[in-house]
């Protein structure tokens, strides 16, 4: 994989020109993407910017995010050839920081569950996960150092776990969603994929112009609460093992690690994630679903068919539960700095018909808290399995710092 | 003006066909819009739906709201001829309820302050207000029974007050913003204009599929708190008089009316509305401002130039104040059912170079609470001056009910 932070150091020192860095990504895409299928379209003559912290950094943009220089087809024939006029805010943030938009990456249709043809770079017989399939796969295959995705259920953390890359779903609204196709306005969150946690921090700090996300030099050891999310049912053995290994590694490296119980309302919040997602999806996809029913991606259409029964009262009740759960969760964070939990139920499922289950991600998306995936173990078939570090709302710096600690601890094992 | 509720009764009883109702609006637009200039573009062959509570209702849509059958030009040359693929969610809600989208109404550029050429139907020498200029003017001139606008500062309630129509800015996110051009995601709220409060209730209930917004038959008298928003400086004499007259009328009709003090933090929240609006606007308009600087509407560009200094830390602090103010405001609503306050500093200013001052609206937009404008008095020059009824977050039914009470009381005076 291409480390963004290392690339920046080579560029800063003059060893590598920004244009050469972009050319390297172009070559890697040429070599690999025929097999992997991570890109929907690519820049014909990508050029590096001369300034900015992300000069020389080739970025892939999930194809539900508007781009003024590329079509934005949302993984659906309904938007075939669709060319937005404006760049989404997050695309402009990247451009302002000097990044080069190298192309658009595959997405499940409308970032729901109808899969793409993208393969998992770690094992081509397996899904890369979704919905941000192409972004996770392009970083994992070493094509690009940075990619944007979005998460409504588990669409950033899950594919990152399946592909063995680092990823962050930042605090809700840290990155703006203007120009990002809406699935659920309460849940949709823009996230980043990169080789490692330091790379995520460099990318996010440059985009958001928040240097505090780079972290400080202090070597403090985090207080980690192990969370098993019983309400989401047990994970497979591989994810159990990933969490165990990560916990042991962190403890050996000096962290305090102990099991922690989530407030009771967390289970209820986890359950009503679907109510909020589907009630809002019916409004967000009203034109697609009502005026283009036959052309709708079949899995998404089926889920909308099944969820027509949610009423405004169901939705209000669900929102009230979410508010109470956020407050209760904030209290739990007085006991520990971060949670450590499963990123997915197991390694990437076989085949590319199904992108996997977001059940260990839903609660955290609804809570709006920052989540960072770190690859923890390699399971059968060479498939990576990650764990996620979760901090309190707004503490993205803390999430990144603790994730870096765990990542480093895992490398020692 | 065309009363939506009355129109519905005529259609329900068979006195008027839905197509005849639409034709009536077409004729009124033909007769008046050459002078008023409320429409940007119109449906060539509008047809009524055969079913739905809003069949026969011609609706004007503010031109920052995406429509699949009309261009959406945002009042700016940057979007000249721009044709969205999809309808915004609120447009689909109207279509689902049987309404006919009759055309797009004028908007200040990007719903900021650069004015349109629209005239105030009550006095052509005056502004109709903004940013939802065309929507307020088209309803006021009796062209259409219903129009959609948006409010980020005071862009629904203020033009309604200036034009002498009823309007509601519902609770934040009661109406979805998918497909509505973003200015500030924390503040932007879709609202409705209609002849009277009953008409608003019928329109909103049908759109949102929430019959409870129609209100019940009970004749309860509201507990009203008079609020003068000292932090926003004193209003002109006309608005002082409008509030006095409305308060007296409500009291005579049996309401309990007393002055009420807002929690101290309200003043602080009012002040930081600008921080949130401008910090988010820099992100929301990043493409327009950075990639199209010369083509930007000059007043908006100037405000963006002036507000580049806001930092993420300023923004976080402002958001924290907003959260605390919302909690404090909820407590104040334990003492009264609704607030009654100024809709604008006075009657519509002379000329069409300036759409007026949103200083009496900002706090309520930031608080996300439902606000309803009711015309209260006619000032010099035949210019109407409104007052606004404000209820707690989520109590849109209560806001509409109390506003209907005050509207009825005012008609008796």
pLDDT surpasses 80 at A219: no
pTM score of the predicted model: 0.98
To the nearest whole angstrom, how far is the Cα of B412 from the nearest Cα of chain A? 36
pLDDT tens profile A315-365: 999 999 999 999 999 999 999 999 999 999 999 999 999 999 999 999 999
pLDDT tens profile A5-33: 999 999 999 999 999 999 999 999 999 99
Interface test with B, best of A85, A279, A285 (most B CBs within 10 A): A85
Cβ within 8 Å of residue A85, ≥6 positions away: A68, B78, B79, B82
Q: Taking CA atoms, what residue in A is nearest to B394?
A: A316
Give the separation between CA A18 and CA A23, rounded to whole angstroms. 9
E strand or H helix that includes residue A339? strand A338-342
pLDDT tens profile A55-92: 999 999 999 999 999 999 999 999 999 999 999 999 99
> Cβ contact (<8 Å) for A290 and B96?
yes
At B90, the pLDDT band (50, 70, 90 cuts) reads: very high
Please give the average per-residue pLDDT across A394-409, as a whole number: 97
Strands B189-194 and B166-169: antiparallel
> Cβ contact (<8 Å) for B86 and A210?
no
Give the separation between CA A289 and CA A293, rounded to whole angstroms. 5
pLDDT surpasses 80 at B261: yes
pLDDT tens profile A179-190: 999 999 999 999
Q: Taking CA atoms, what residue in B is nearest to A66?
A: B287
Please give the average per-residue pLDDT across B330-339, as a whole number: 96
Q: What's the whole-number average pLDDT of chain A?
A: 97
- The residue count of chain B comes to 413
To the nearest whole angstrom, how far is the Cα of B104 from the nearest Cα of chain A? 18
Burial of residue B306, with CB atoms counted within 10 A of its CB: 0-12 exposed, 13-18 middle, 19 or more buried: exposed
Q: What is the pLDDT of residue B220?
A: 85
Which residues of chain B does A80 touch, with a Cβ-Cβ cutoff of 8 Å? none
Name the 3-class secondary structure at A60.
strand
Please give the average per-residue pLDDT across B314-338, as a whole number: 97
> Cβ contact (<8 Å) for A394 and B316?
yes
CA A290 distance to own-chain centroid: 29
**What CA–CA distances, in Å, run from A234 to A65, A238, A346, A363, B380?**
34, 11, 10, 15, 72
Which residues of chain B does A89 touch, with a Cβ-Cβ cutoff of 8 Å? 283-284, 286-287
Q: What is the pLDDT of residue A204?
A: 98
Q: What's the whole-number average pLDDT of chain B?
A: 97
Chain A / chain B CB contacts < 8 angstroms = 81
| Angle separating helix axes B4-13 and B197-208, nearest 10 degrees | 70
Please give the average per-residue pLDDT across A128-134, as a whole number: 98
Please give the average per-residue pLDDT across B194-212, as a whole number: 97
Please give the average per-residue pLDDT across B354-366, as a whole number: 98
| Contact yes or no for B169/B151 (Cβ under 8 A) | yes
Which residue stretches of B335-395 are H helix? 362-367
At B197, the pLDDT band (50, 70, 90 cuts) reads: very high
Please give the average per-residue pLDDT across B281-308, as a whole number: 98
pLDDT surpasses 90 at B219: no
Share above pLDDT 90 across residues of chain B, in percent, rounded to a whole number: 98
Residues of A with CB under 8 A from a CB of B: 68, 78-79, 82, 85-89, 91-93, 95-96, 173, 176-179, 182, 185, 208-210, 280, 283-284, 286-288, 290-291, 312, 316, 394
Q: What is the pLDDT of residue A177?
A: 98
Q: What is the pLDDT of residue B58?
A: 98
What sign has the CA pseudo-torsion B167, B172, B173, B176?
A: positive
Q: What is the pLDDT of residue A215?
A: 85
Name the 3-class secondary structure at A147.
strand
Q: Taking CA atoms, what residue in B is nearest to A285?
A: B89
Please give the average per-residue pLDDT across B318-346, as a whole number: 97
Give the separation between CA B4 and CA B10, rounded to whole angstroms. 10
Segment among A35-49, A216-230, B243-257, B330-344 with least mean pLDDT: A216-230
Interface test with A, best of B92, B277, B319 (most A CBs within 10 A): B92
DSSP-derived secondary structure letter, B120: P
| Contact yes or no for A65/A150 (Cβ under 8 A) | yes
Task: Name the one residue in this structure whose structure tokens are 């995520």.
Answer: A200
> Cβ contact (<8 Å) for B290 and A92?
yes
> Cβ contact (<8 Å) for B176 and A89?
no
- Residue A229, φ and ψ in degrees, nearest 5: 50, 55
> Cβ contact (<8 Å) for B89 and A209?
no
E strand or H helix that includes residue A91? helix A89-96
Q: What is the pLDDT of residue A413?
A: 79
Give the separation between CA B285 and CA B188, rounded to whole angstroms. 14
Interface test with B, best of A178, A392, A395 (most B CBs within 10 A): A178
Please give the average per-residue pLDDT across B244-255, as a whole number: 98
Which residues of chain B does A291 touch, with a Cβ-Cβ cutoff of 8 Å? 68, 87, 92
Name the 3-class secondary structure at A317.
helix
At B216, the pLDDT band (50, 70, 90 cuts) reads: confident
Domains in chain A, CATH or no CATH each = 4-214 (3.90.1300.10)
Q: Taking CA atoms, what residue in A is nearest to B210?
A: A312
Q: Taking CA atoms, what residue in A is nearest to B86?
A: A287
At A169, the pLDDT band (50, 70, 90 cuts) reads: very high
């Amino acid at each position: 994989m291409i480390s963004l932070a290392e690339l920046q150091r080579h560029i800063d020192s003059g060893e590598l020109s920004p244009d050469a860095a972009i050319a390297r990504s172009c070559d890697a895409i040429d070599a690999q993407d025929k097999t992997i299928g991570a890109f929907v379209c690519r820049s014909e003559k990508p050029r590096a910017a001369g300034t900015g912290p992300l000069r020389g950094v080739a970025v892939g943009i999930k194809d539900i995010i508007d781009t003024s220089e590329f079509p934005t087809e949302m993984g659906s024939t309904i938007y075939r050839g669709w060319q937005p006029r404006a760049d989404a805010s997050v695309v402009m943030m990247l451009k302002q920081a000097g990044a080069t938009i190298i192309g658009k990456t595959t997405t499940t249709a409308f970032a729901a569950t109808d899969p793409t043809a993208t393969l998992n770079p770690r094992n081509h017989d397996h899904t890369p996960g979704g919905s941000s399939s192409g972004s996770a796969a392009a970083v994992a295959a070493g094509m690009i150092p940075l990619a944007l995705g979005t998460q409504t259920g588990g669409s950033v953390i899950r594919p990152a776990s399946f592909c063995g890359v680092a990823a962050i779903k930042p605090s809700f609204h840290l990155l703006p969603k203007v120009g990002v196709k809406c699935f659920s306005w309460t849940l949709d969150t823009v996230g980043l994929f990169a080789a490692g946690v330091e790379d995520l921090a460099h990318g996010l700090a440059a985009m958001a112009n928040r240097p505090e996300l780079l972290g400080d030099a202090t070597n403090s050891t985090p207080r980690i609460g192990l969370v098993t999310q019983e309400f989401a049912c047990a994970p497979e053995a591989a994810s159990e093992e990933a969490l165990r290994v990560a916990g042991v590694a962190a403890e050996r490296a000096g962290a305090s690690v102990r099991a922690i119980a989530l407030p009771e309302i967390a289970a209820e919040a986890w359950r009503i994630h679907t109510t909020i997602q589907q009630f809002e999806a019916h409004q967000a996809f009203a034109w697609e679903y009502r005026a283009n029913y036959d052309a709708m991606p079949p899995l998404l259409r089926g889920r909308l068919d099944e969820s027509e029964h949610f009423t405004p009262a169901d939705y209000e009740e669900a929102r009230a539960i979410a508010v109470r759960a956020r407050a209760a969760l904030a209290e739990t964070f007085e006991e520990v700095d971060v949670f450590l939990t499963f990123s997915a139920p197991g390694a990437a499922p076989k085949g590319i018909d199904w992108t996997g289950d977001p059940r260990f991600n839903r609660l955290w998306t609804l809570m709006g808290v920052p989540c960072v995936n770190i690859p923890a173990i390699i399971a059968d078939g060479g498939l990576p399995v990650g764990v996620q570090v979760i901090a309190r709302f707004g503490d993205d710096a803390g999430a990144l710092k603790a994730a870096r600690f765990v990542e480093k601890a895992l490398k020692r094992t």
